[in-house]
Amino acid sequence: MNLKELISVARGEMSADLLLKNARIVNTFVGEIEQADVAIYGDRIAGVGDYGKAKEIIDLQGAFLAPGLINGHTHIESSMLHPTRYAQAVVPRGTLSVVTDLHEIANVCGPEGIKFVTDLARQLPLDMLFMAPSCVPATNLETSGAEISSKEVKKILAHPRIIGLGEMMNFPGVVMGDEEVLSKISAAQGMIIDGHAPGLTGKDLNAYLSAGILSDHESTTIEEGREKLRRGIYLMIREGSSEKNLDALLPLVTDNTYKRCFFVVDDRSCSDLLREGDIDAVVRKAIGRGLEAVRAIQMATINTAEYFRLHDRGGIGPGYVANLITITDLPQLEIDMVFYKGKLVAREGKPLFLPPPVTLDLRDTVRIKSPTGKSLRIAVAGETCPVIEIIPGQIVTRKTMEKVKVVDGLVMPDVERDILKLVVVERHKASSNIGVGLVKGFGLTKGALASSVAHDSHNIIAVGADDLDILRAIEEIRRLQGGLVVCADLEILASLPLPIAGLLSPEPLDTVVLQYETLERAAATLGNLPPAPFSILSFLALPVIPELRLTDLGLVDVNEFRLIW
């Protein structure tokens, strides 16, 4: 960009490259709709007002023009799409900036996984910005495929696309002053540091925030969100595939607080991206719940940009990056044209750009010592056992003590009471580590589900009503070198291969969604399952979300931050 020429275009002396005429601009600076033309030179907006000269003119005829949407916290790996395919999915939806913490792929492949995505990002019509993974592994209560020390975090933070430190999930480590955890935070002083503090309150919350942590996306109740806002947190209002907090938190958005709030998805499945959208789906839902449309767009654009200190985006103004979307129906957020850096890259929901080739890097990452029936046994330790209880629509779980079904001294699945066996198999080092526990709320009456997507260390996780089906499903994951599997009566009913790091598919969005939805339909035949069962399953091994989780090392009481079984 030639700055002198940009100024000349802004003054109306020189022709713009592109002129968007007769736009109803969603002015996120002042929260109003403004009628004007927008002159673009190179990748920047030169001016807003009355312009006439341009190499190309598009008459919007009164359509709304808004800044490109910004997804302020997501893990692109949860889409199960190769980064190239991910861009093809979200760009037509108006997402033109994504802030992602790559701790999923980093927990499997370490810095090599980060490099895989950051190298590809340079070739996409999407500003993919990264937070350095702070928790690889998330805790010492599981086995991951890699470890990233505070020294390595410091090196990663020097990368030009890294804009801060990713969600600090090890909140007990912060509160208790763990030296390695604090060293990672110290390495990022002066940068954005994202938080992750489910249920944290009172003096522990004060201690956590005193370390310089600025945000949180784990609030699930209005009381929790209100306290965090009062303590200075930027509240990320999350609405993902299995983490749905919008309805609970939206009442917190007022004239006094809205500048401290913005929308995120955290984790969004390929199916939801195709059927509903990305951050646009959250905006649409917020408007449907009564939030004024312009304010909803502010919370998906300028609020996010200002939090991340991205001062050249989030609004339509002189000098801002020309990441823009046209909207034909504002309340429904019907997006027509998408411009990335002044170039039309999508229209009517279809990408217009040629992506870089899809590569099959990071393969052969599933290394297990196959479990046997003996390794899945749970011996009776008393009249009751701890059980992970699923809470519908949330990723937090409840710790319950339940009477269990016992046969010949061994605990068995009890489908009548919806108590099933849950298994986690270490898959990075073939260590033979296997965690076995019980889960309630999955609704399976037969068969098993298994997945190599298990946040955050991504060992193999399986749930089932029958040990033999669990073993068969786990073996199929090994054979596929990653993926999702439905099994019943020792037959594989459906599968979705994920050969890239055991997390991603190289296939196009439509193909992956077809496989994923076939998988969910097959799973639904095995009982009365909750929505998005594989998404729910993927979080049951995450020992930083209360109250009870299972890792390859055993059953974790997250509130006590220790193995209990």
pLDDT band per the 50, 70, 90 thresholds, residue 311:
very high
Among residues of the chain, what percentage have pLDDT more than 90? 89
Asked whether residue 320 falls in the same domain as residue 417, the answer is no
Residue 107 lies in a domain: no
Other CB atoms closer than 10 Å to residue 528's CB: what's the count?
10
Q: In whole angstroms, what is the distance from residue 90 CA to residue 273 CA?
A: 7
Q: From 556, 378, 524, select the one nearest 446 (Cα to Cα).
A: 524
pLDDT band per the 50, 70, 90 thresholds, residue 559:
confident
Give me the pLDDT at residue 343, please. 98
Asked whether residue 386 falls in the same domain as residue 457, the answer is yes
Burial class for 50, CB neighbours closer than 10 Å (0-12, 13-18, 19+) = exposed
pLDDT band per the 50, 70, 90 thresholds, residue 161:
confident
Give me the pLDDT at residue 441, please. 95
Asked whether residue 442 falls in the same domain as residue 314, the answer is no
Task: Kindly report, residue by residue over 4-58, the tens digit of the pLDDT.
Answer: 999 999 999 999 999 999 999 999 999 999 999 999 999 999 999 999 899 999 9
Sign of CA dihedral 476, 273, 351, 46: negative
Residue type for position 485: V
Residue ending a domain, choose from 355, 385, 411: 355
**Position with higher pLDDT, 264 vs 161:** 264
Give me the pLDDT at residue 381, please. 76
pLDDT band per the 50, 70, 90 thresholds, residue 243:
confident
**Position with higher pLDDT, 63 vs 137:** 63
Q: Could you give the number of structural domains in the chain? A: 2
State yes or no: pLDDT of 510 exceeds 90: yes
Residue 118 lies in a domain: no
Asked whether residue 380 falls in the same domain as residue 305, the answer is no
Asked whether residue 482 falls in the same domain as residue 418, the answer is yes
Asked whether residue 299 falls in the same domain as residue 432, the answer is no
Task: Kindly report, residue by residue over 95-120, the tens digit of the pLDDT.
Answer: 999 999 898 999 999 999 999 999 99
Task: Kindly report, residue by residue over 18-31, the tens digit of the pLDDT.
Answer: 999 999 999 999 99
Give me the pLDDT at residue 517, please. 96
Residue 81 vs residues 84, 146, 276: alpha-carbon distances, Å: 8, 21, 16
Across 551-556, average pLDDT: 96
Residue 485 lies in a domain: yes
Q: In whole angstroms, what is the distance from residue 132 CA to residue 193 CA?
A: 9
Write down the mean pLDDT value for the chain. Answer: 95
State yes or no: pLDDT of 71 exceeds 80: yes
**Rg over CA atoms, the chain:** 24
**Position with higher pLDDT, 432 vs 359:** 432
Asked whether residue 532 falls in the same domain as residue 421, the answer is yes
Report phi then psi at 522, rounded to 5: -65, -40
Residue with token string 């193999």: 460
pLDDT band per the 50, 70, 90 thresholds, residue 382:
confident
Please compute, for residue 190, the number of CA atoms within 13 A of its CA located in the half-sphere on the CB side: 4
Strands (E), 305-459: 324-329, 334-340, 343-347, 350-351, 384-390, 397-403, 405-407, 410-412, 419-425, 434-440, 448-451
Residue 144 lies in a domain: no
Asked whether residue 422 falls in the same domain as residue 535, the answer is yes
Asked whether residue 290 falls in the same domain as residue 418, the answer is no
Tell me the sheet residues that pair with 324: 67, 339
Q: From 58, 69, 4, 45, select the one nearest 320 (Cα to Cα).
A: 45
Give me the pLDDT at residue 139, please. 82
Give me the pLDDT at residue 505, please. 97
pLDDT band per the 50, 70, 90 thresholds, residue 78:
very high
State yes or no: pLDDT of 415 exceeds 80: yes
Q: From 559, 538, 475, 459, select the one nearest 142 (Cα to Cα).
A: 459
Q: In whole angstroms, what is the distance from residue 160 CA to residue 147 CA?
A: 22
Asked whether residue 381 falls in the same domain as residue 346, the answer is no
State yes or no: pLDDT of 545 exceeds 90: no
Residue ending a domain, choose from 325, 355, 385: 355
Asked whether residue 319 falls in the same domain as residue 385, the answer is no
Task: Kindly report, residue by residue over 330-379, the tens digit of the pLDDT.
Answer: 999 999 999 999 999 999 999 999 888 887 789 999 999 989 999 999 98
Asked whether residue 350 falls in the same domain as residue 385, the answer is no
Residue type for position 352: L
Task: Kindly report, residue by residue over 128-140, the tens digit of the pLDDT.
Answer: 999 999 989 888 8
463 token code pair: 């749930």
Residue 440 lies in a domain: yes
Across 281-288, average pLDDT: 98
Residue 360 lies in a domain: no
Quote the domain boundaries for residue 392: 374-563
Residue ending a domain, choose from 355, 389, 424: 355
Residue 41 lies in a domain: yes
Task: Kindly report, residue by residue over 162-219, the tens digit of the pLDDT.
Answer: 999 999 998 989 999 999 999 999 999 999 999 999 999 999 999 999 999 999 999 9
What crossing angle do the helices spanning 111-121 and 150-157 adopt, rounded to 10°? 10
Give me the pLDDT at residue 185, please. 97
State yes or no: pLDDT of 1 exceeds 80: no
Question: CATH number of the domain that 290 lies in?
Answer: 2.30.40.10
Residue 243 lies in a domain: no
Give me the pLDDT at residue 265, please. 96
* Three-class SS state of 72: strand
Give me the pLDDT at residue 456, please. 86
H or E segment at 497? strand 491-497
CA 352 to chain centre: 25
